[in-house]
Amino acid sequence: MSIVSDEFGGAPPPERAGPVYRLRKPGTGIGDRVFSGLSAGMAFLVLLVLGGAAAAMLWGGMLAFKTFGLKFIYTSDWDAVNLKFGAFIPIYGTVVTSAIAIAIAVPISFGISIFLTELAPRWLKGPVGTAIELLAAVPSIIYGMWGLFVFVPFVATYIEPWMNAHLGTLPLIGPVFSGPPIGIGMLTAGVILAIMIIPFITAVMRDVFSAVPDALKESAHALGSTTWEVVTHVSLPYTRTAVVGAIFLGLGRALGETMAVTFVLGNAHEFSASLLMPGNSIAAVIANEFTEADSPIYTSSLIALAFLLFVVTFIVLALAKLMLARIGRLDGAKA
């Protein structure tokens, strides 16, 4: 009887019954609770450090904000003798140099990424990819010294005279590209920043383009699409969210750069619409003048600049997050 019932799915005899296992709800074990608590603690620690840094900078710059009010943000005065300070010139220089860097770096990074993933022969992908990674590891002060001693003379001798002759005479945009050919200025700083952030943007783009399923690209090629059409209609839409994230990662890197910009920006507290004129940035002002701050209001103004840089970077990254969320919703709606 036991044999028949066993063959037809019946219960086995008592002597053949195996051990009884009890199902346990996930996360109820001691190890799970400890792991969950440690993970949550680390996440909250990041928020705590971020909030603490912002609060410390706000507290340190409170004297400047109380003394100058909102005028501190939109005035261009920076007079350490008469203790009058305004943050407009450093904010303007930070935004302009970062915008120049992004305008130059994004097309170049996109081209390098497409070449490495779609066009380069196998023997060339390794050396070029390694070179990109090595560029990301070069210290910023090396870029600054190279920019000052090599790139600045080149710009002053060849680039800026050509801009003055061909672009400086044009209506509307002429004042932007005219000025003394000294090589030091916001344009040079933007180019140096572009060289610095290209490896970061390229590395992310290359990885996400490599993650596109081969079946999608092969199907597009089978339908007669060219490589450019595969990139623009398959790879780029598939990785759009990650590409936008890579661009904003590079922008965040450019906004906070200090030493390389300090070498080639000129460190001048004077407003000029020309990209060839010297300017200043928030990070450069803090690096150059913090040791010279000999009064409480001077020190507080520099700390207030640091807080404004934190706010600008936070706004940029928040906009990136909102843009990525919007792209995700649009992709979900299309699906």
Tens-digit pLDDT profile for residues 48-71: 998 999 999 999 999 999 999 888
Residue 47 domain boundaries:
2-58
Same-domain pairing of 131 and 166: yes
Together in a domain, 124 and 213: yes
The number of residues in the chain equals: 335
| 3-state class (DSSP) for residue 274 | coil
- At which of 22, 39, 58 does a domain end? 58
List, in order, residues 6 or more apart from 177 with CB less than 8 Å away.
163, 164, 167, 168, 170, 274, 275, 276
Name which of 118, 122, 124 is nearest 220 in CA terms.
118
The model's pTM is 0.83
Please check the confidence at residue 221 and state whether its pLDDT lies above 60: yes
Half-sphere exposure of 319 (CA within 13 A, CB side): 10
Q: What mean pLDDT, rounded, does the chain reach? A: 85
Domain termination residue (choose one: 11, 29, 58): 58
Q: Is the pLDDT of residue 8 over 80?
A: no
Under 8 Å between Cβ of 276 and 156: no
Number of domains into which the chain is organized: 2
Question: Is residue 160 domain-shared with residue 117, that is, in the same domain?
Answer: yes
Asked if residues 163 and 257 have their Cβ atoms less than 8 Å apart, the reply is no
CB 153 within 8 A of CB 181: no
Residue 36 shares a structural domain with residue 121 = no
pLDDT tens-place string over residues 124-164: 888 888 888 888 888 889 999 999 999 999 999 999 999 99
Q: Examine the domain organization and report whether 82 and 196 are in the same domain.
A: yes
Consecutive H or E run containing 84: strand 84-85
Q: Which one, of 290, 255, 284, 257, lies nearest residue 268 by Cα? A: 284
Window from 20-24, 126-130, 143-147, 328-332 with minimum mean pLDDT? 20-24
Write down the H helix ranges in 155-226.
160-166, 186-210, 214-222
